Amino acid sequence: MIAIIDYGMGNLRSVQKGFEKVGFDAVVTADPRVVLEADKVVLPGVGAFPDCMRNLEEGGFIEPVLRVIREGRPFLGICLGLQLLFTESEEFGVHRGLDVIPGRVVRFPEGMQEGEEELKVPHMGWNQLTFKRRAPVFDGLSDGDNVYFVHSYYVQPEDAGVVATSTNYGIEFCSSIWKDNIVATQFHPEKSQEKGLLILKNFGEM
């Protein structure tokens, strides 16, 4: 069973429909006990980092999430679900994250350029992946494949060895990580059409 954590922040139904489309049952749950019983867990997220951390804590999800990760069950973070895994974020002040992956979440710098064009923040739309390490969840994807992003902040891992893909948007930033049983993406697989569905299918088969 795949559990999608409902803590009031995220496009949950789209993630659930994505899994259903590739043949996997996924349940959206606001019950930490269901998370603890799940074979695989997905932490999505849309919104502000401090609000998400507060909702996770108030919903009783922090210890279940950490336990699932410790026990080696497949874990997928999406967008803010990637950022929450890090030590801290600078969004609306400095806020503590789950500290599973040492590192920080920082805002894109102002005034980024691409040629003569000034790049807007948030980074929104389709952009390419460059592979650094080949996580099994990315089987079937290639350098240059496009996926869908919506974000103003990005992660800076202390250990470059956890970076699975990078993407260029004014700067080169980490667009996904892979460490042991954890895969987390800054982009939205559920909005990335065939390539994103392939990622969900690969995760479902882990």
Distances (CA, A) of 54 to 21, 97, 182: 32, 10, 22
Q: Which of the residues 79, 91, 95, 151 is marked catalytic?
A: 79
**Predicted local confidence at residue 128, as pLDDT:** 98
Quick one: pLDDT at residue 10? 73
Decide if domain 2-204 falls under CATH 3.40.50.880.
Answer: yes
E strand spans, the chain:
2-5, 26-29, 40-43, 75-78, 86-89, 95-96, 101-107, 113-114, 117-118, 123-128, 130-131, 146-151, 153-157, 163-169, 171-179, 182-185
DSSP three-state, residue 97: coil
Q: Which of 52, 91, 123, 190 is catalytic?
A: 190
Annotation says 95 is catalytic:
no
Say whether 52 is catalytic: no
The residue annotated as part of the active site, out of 71, 95, 188, 194, is 188
Q: What is the pTM of this model?
A: 0.96
**Token pair 């803590």: residue:** 7
Cα 42–chain centre separation:
9
pLDDT tens over the chain, length 206 residues: 999 999 987 779 999 999 999 999 999 999 999 999 999 999 998 889 999 999 999 999 999 999 999 999 999 999 999 999 999 999 999 999 999 999 999 999 988 988 888 999 999 999 999 999 999 999 999 999 999 999 999 999 999 999 999 999 999 999 999 999 999 999 999 999 999 999 999 999 99
Per domain, the residue ranges of the chain are 2-204
DSSP H stretches of helix in 10-145: 12-21, 32-37, 49-58, 62-70, 80-83
Is-catalytic flag, 79?
yes
